[in-house]
Amino acid sequence: MIDGDGIIEYGSAAFRAEHWLVRFVGTDDGRTLLAVDHGRVDVIDMATGAVTTGPRVKAVTTHADVVAVAPADRPDTVTLLTLPELTPRAEFDAGGPVYRLAMSGGTIAALTAEPYTLALIVDGTTHRIDLPDEATCLALSPDGTLAAVGTNKGRTGNVLLVDVPTGTVRHTLTGPRAPVTAVAVSAAHDVVVAAAGPRVLGWTPSAKKPKATSLWVSPKDGASLAGITPSGRLIAYSWKGSTAAVDPSTGTVDWEIDSYGPVLVHGERVVSVRFGDCRELDPSTGAVRHTWTHRGYMTRLSAVGDTVVGSGRDSRPMLLRPGTTEVPELGDGHSRSVVAVSFDGDRFATTGEDNRVCVWQRGRPAPLFTATIDVPTVARYHGVALDGGTLFAGDRERLLRFTVGDPEPAARSERLDGNVVAAASLTDRGEVLVACSKGYRNGVFYRLDALTLEVRAQAKAPYVLGTIAYTPGSATFDLRWATGFRTYEIKGFAETGGCEHGGYRSRLYVTPDHTLLVTLDSREETATLRVLDIAARTELHDAITIPAVTGDACMSAAGLLTTGHADAVRLWDVRSGTLAGVLPLRTPAGWGAAVRWTPGETAVLVSHSSGGLQEVPASVIG
C-alpha cells in the first residue's frame, strides 16, 4: 500500500501481531475474526483481510455481533462493542479489575480480583457474588441462566454453580483433586463438567447434593474440555494424548482417538489436531470425516461460520473450509521478524522466523512468490540469495535452489556441516557460496555448483556468523557480522584481512572502503557512536550521542550509518560526525526492526518484528 507519504508497505496487515502468541477468536457473524495480541484486540474481515484496530484490553469475549471487553485503562468496567467496526454500545461497572469474561444468552459474566468475585450483568443490572477462593475459569449455559466458576484451593478445587436470575450460589461442587482448569454447562442444565489435573468430572445439578463422577482420565497429561455438543456429548482431550467423546450422564466413553494439539467443538462439529493434520471427526463414532494437512503445527482453533481457523507458531490464520483439502492462509507476506534480505535489481528476497521465503517486486505489496523453509528458532543471520529467477535459501543444514514461481525446490544440497547462515550467488562463476555455522565462531565455507548444488570445495572457517558481501569479478568476499569482518579468497578460502571489535554489547559497522570502523553502543534512552580510523587506530572525532537506536542498523554505500528509532530512520555522516538526514516512519521501529538500503540507495527498507516491511523513500529526507 502506498499513501501520500510515499511509503510502500509489503505484505498483508491481517496478521501483523506484536507477538507470535496472538490468539484468534471467531465470531458468530460469519465474516469477522478477532486477533487478541498483548492485550490489544483487532478485528479482521475474513473476506477482504482488512484490519480494524481496537482498544487495549484485559479480557475479551464475543457473542452474536457483540464483543465484550475490559478496557486496559478502565479494567473495572465491561464495555460492549458492536461488530464489525467495534462501535461502542454500552458500558457497565464490574466493581473490580476484570480478568475473565463470558457471554451467552442475555448474560455477561465477569471474574474480578481483589477480592475474587463473580459479576453478573443482566438487563443492565450488575449482581456481584463473593467467591471463597481464586477463580480460575468461567462458563455460562447456552441460555445464559446458569454460571459455573472453577476455583483453585491450592491442591484441590471446587466448582461454584450460580443461578443467574437470582444471583445465588445453587451448589458448591466438590471432588476435584487439583485446581479446576476448565468448566462447561450442558444446554439442558442436566450436567456440569470440569477438568482438574488429568481428570474430567461431572455432576448432576438437579440432585439435592450432587456428587462428582469420574468421566474420563487423560492418558498422558492434563485434561482439557473442548465443549459439549448441542446433542449433549462431552468432548474432552489431552494436549499430547487423545481426544475422547463421553456421555456425561453415564460416564461411558463412546470413542477415543489419538491426537496431539487443540480440539474444537463448533456446534455438532468436532475438529482435532494431530501434529500437521487437522481432522474433522464424526461426533458419534470418532471416525475421520475429513483431513486438512498443513506444513505447520496448529496450536489454536476457532471458527467463523463454517470455516475453522487455525493458528500456530507464526500466528498466521489458516483457513480450514469444508470439502477442501487445501489450507489457504489469511493474508500474505511474513508474520514474524525478517531474518535476511537479498536484493537483485527491482526484486528482493526475504526469509523470516515464520519459516517462509518470499520474493517481492519493489512497489508491489503482495509477494511474487512464497515457499516454506526451516529457519532455526533463534537466528540472527540466515542464508538467502536472489539471482534473477533463481533463489537460493538455507533450510537449516541444507541449501535449496528454487525457480521463482515454483514453491517446490528445484535442487537440494547434501547435508552440510552446520546451519546455513549466509549465501551469495557467484553468477560469473556458476557457483553459490555458503557459510555454515556449527556454533559461535566455528563453521565451514562451501562452494556449490549453482545448478546441481553439488559441493565443489569446502574449508573450515573460524567466523561464520554474518552475511556475505561479494562483487562480481572479485577474487575475494567479505564475511561481515555485528562486531567485525573478515576478507577471504574465493579460491582456497584463505584469509586476507579484516577487523574485529571486541567491545562488549557494541555493534560494529564498517564503511565500504574499509577505512572507518563505527561502534554503536545502545542504552535505554540514548546511544553512542564512536568512529575509529582503522589504519591509524585512532578515533576520528569525539563520541556522538544520539537518540536510542532500536533494532539493527546498516551502513550505506556512501558511508552513512543508517539507524532506526521510535519516530524515524536517521542518517549519520560518520566522517564528519553530523546528522545527514531523517526519514519519517509511519510505524515506529521496534526491538526486532532492521534497516537496509535498496539498490541505488533510493530508499530504506525497514523490517518490523511483526513481519511487516516498509520501503521509505530517501526523497523524503528532512
Tens of pLDDT along 366-403? 999 999 898 886 667 899 999 999 999 999 999 999 99
% pLDDT > 70, the chain: 95
pLDDT of residue 482 exceeding 80, the answer is no
**What per-residue confidence (pLDDT) applies to 3?**
57
Distance CA 594, CA 339 (A): 9
Residue 503 has pLDDT above 60, yes or no: no
Mean pLDDT to the nearest integer, 257-263: 95
C-alpha cell at 116: 475474587
Answer whether residue 17 shows pLDDT above 70: no
Judge if 305 and 347 occupy the same domain.
no
Amino acid identity, residue 356?
A: R
pLDDT, mean over the chain: 90
Residues 488 and 518 in one domain: no
Residue 386: predicted pLDDT? 97
Residue 515's domain spans which residues? 501-622
Inside any domain, residue 404: yes
Ranked by mean pLDDT, the top range of 206-210, 454-458, 494-498 is 454-458
State the cell numbers at 103: 457471554
Question: Does residue 6 register a pLDDT over 90?
Answer: no
Q: What SS3 class is residue 556?
A: coil
How high is the pLDDT of residue 440?
A: 65
pLDDT category at 506 given cuts 50, 70, 90 is low
Residue 403, domain member (yes or no): yes
Question: How many whole angstroms separate alpha carbon 306 and alpha carbon 324?
Answer: 12
Q: Which pLDDT tens digit goes with each residue over 188-237?
A: 999 999 999 999 999 999 999 999 999 999 988 899 999 999 999 999 99
pLDDT at 622: 62
Residue 509 and residue 491 in one domain: no
Same domain, 340 and 455: yes
Q: Does residue 489 share a domain with residue 341?
A: yes
In angstroms, rounded to a whole number, what is the distance separating the alpha carbons of residues 470 and 205? 74
| CATH number, domain with residue 607 | 2.130.10.10
Q: For the chain, what percent of residues have pLDDT higher than 90?
A: 66
Q: Are 229 and 193 in contact (CB under 8 A)?
A: no
Alpha-carbon distance of 407 to 263, in angstroms, equals: 30
Long-range CB pairs of 17-23 (<8 Å, 24+ gap) are 17/315, 17/335, 17/610, 18/609, 18/610, 19/315, 20/313, 20/314, 20/315, 20/335, 20/336, 21/315, 22/311, 22/315, 23/300, 23/311
Average pLDDT estimate for 271-278: 92
CA dist list (Å): 409 to 184, 231, 404, 546: 48, 48, 10, 45
* pLDDT at 337 (0 to 100): 86
Work out the pLDDT band at 142, boundaries 50, 70, 90. very high
Kindly report the number of other CB atoms within 10 A of residue 431's CB atom: 19
* 621 pLDDT higher than 80: no
175 assigned to some structural domain: no
Instruction: Point out the domain boundary residue: 474, 495, 516.
Output: 495
| 473 and 364 assigned to the same domain | yes
Find where cell 492462509 sits.
Answer: 329
- CA neighbor of 36 nearest in space, from 52, 14, 46, 21: 21
Eight-class DSSP state of 296: S
Q: How far is CA 554 from CA 173, 457, 569, in A?
A: 62, 31, 11
Predicted confidence (pLDDT) at residue 315 exceeds the cutoff of 50: yes
pLDDT reading at 265 higher than 70: yes
pLDDT at 30 (0 to 100): 85
Going by pLDDT thresholds of 50, 70 and 90, the confidence category of residue 1 is very low
User: Quick one: 585 and 600 in the same domain?
Assistant: yes
Give the end-to-end CA distance of the chain in Å, rounded to a whole number.
22
Does 460 lie in the same domain as 346? yes
User: Which CATH number characterizes residue 302's domain?
Assistant: 2.40.10.480
CB neighbours of residue 51 within 10 Å: 18
Q: How far apart are CA 621 and CA 616, in angstroms?
A: 10
pTM attached to this predicted model: 0.80
Looking at residue 404, its pLDDT comes to 96
Task: Say which residue the cell 468475585 belongs to.
Answer: 117
Looking at the fold, whether 489 and 552 belong to one and the same domain comes out as: no
Are both 309 and 349 inside the same structural domain? no
What is the number of domains present in the chain? 3
Quick check: 161 pLDDT over 60?
A: yes
Which among 477, 495, 513 is the end of a domain? Answer: 495
Q: Are 406 and 527 members of one domain?
A: no
The reply to whether 19 falls in a domain is: no
Residue 113 within any structural domain of the chain: no
Give the residue-averaged pLDDT of 107-125: 94
Cβ proximity of 308 and 322 under 8 Å: no
Is there a contact between 146 and 190 (Cβ–Cβ < 8 Å)? no
Claim to verify: residue 433 and residue 477 sit in the same structural domain: yes
Last residue of a domain, one of 450, 480, 495: 495
- Higher model confidence: residue 571 or residue 220? 571
Find residue 242's DSSP bridge partners.
258
Mean pLDDT of 337-366: 93
Query: Does any domain span residue 427?
Result: yes
Centre a 10 Å sphere on the Cβ of residue 344 and count the other Cβ atoms it contains. 18
Q: Which helix (H) or strand (E) holds 518?
A: strand 516-522
Is 238 part of any domain? no
| DSSP SS3 for 383 | coil
Characterise 385 by phi-psi region: left (phi > 0), alpha (psi -120 to 50), beta (else): beta
Q: What is the pLDDT of residues 63-95, one digit of tens each?
A: 989 999 999 999 999 999 999 889 999 999 999
Does residue 505 register a pLDDT over 60? no
Residue 540, in any domain of the structure: yes
pLDDT > 70? residue 45: yes
Q: Is the pLDDT of residue 591 over 90?
A: no
Q: Which residue has the cell 574449508?
A: 459
